[in-house]
């Protein structure tokens, strides 16, 4: 039987200044372990620690621009674009533009604090 998701759950975010994470589907809001789907709203100047997750992350930028720093190079993902970061790939996300960024993040399997493997000290971007 289908499951209606009435509303997302607001989740505390890593990084500074704080971004808003609204999880629609995932371990917290729907107890789904196979996938997580969340709307992210990051303010201008937001940056989170680098991470090497045990999941693929599919990101679709809806507004603004999301900076994606990888060991192989950097991407500025604009509204209307998407990026896939694969399992085991080190990545650091930020939104340096004045308007920040709004985007949808889909993680397979679902995001968890135990599988994101955040850096303790963030390398310079």
The domain containing residue 81 runs over which residues?
16-116
Predicted local distance difference test score (pLDDT) of residue 120 = 87
Total domains present in the chain: 1
Through-space distance between the first and last CA atoms of the chain, rounded to whole angstroms: 46
83 token code pair? 């990026």
113 in Cβ contact with 49 (< 8 Å):
no
* 49: in domain: yes
Rounded CA-CA distance 112/57 in Å is 12
* 7: in domain: no
pTM over 0.85: yes
* 90: in domain: yes
User: Does 59 sit behind a cis peptide bond, omega within 30 degrees of 0 on the bond before it?
Assistant: no
pLDDT tens sequence across 57-103: 999 999 999 999 999 999 999 999 999 999 999 999 999 999 999 99
pLDDT tens sequence across 14-64: 999 999 999 999 999 999 999 999 999 999 999 999 999 999 999 999 999
In angstroms, what is the C-alpha Rg of the chain?
A: 14
> What CATH number corresponds to the domain at position 70?
2.60.120.10
* 43: in domain: yes
The DSSP bridge partners found for residue 94 are 47, 67
């Amino acid at each position: 039987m289908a499951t209606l998701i009435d509303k997302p759950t607001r989740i505390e975010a890593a990084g500074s200044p704080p971004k808003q994470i609204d999880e629609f589907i995932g371990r917290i809001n729907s107890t789904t372990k196979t996938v997580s789907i969340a709307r992210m709203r990051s303010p201008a100047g937001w940056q989170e620690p680098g991470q090497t997750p045990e999941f693929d992350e599919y990101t679709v930028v809806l507004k603004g621009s999301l900076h994606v720093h990888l060991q192989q190079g950097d991407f500025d993902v604009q509204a209307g674009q998407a990026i896939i970061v694969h399992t085991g790939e080190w990545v650091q996300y930020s939104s340096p533009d004045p308007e920040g960024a709004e985007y949808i993040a889909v993680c397979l399997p679902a995001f968890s604090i135990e599988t994101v493997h955040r850096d303790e000290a963030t390398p310079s971007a």
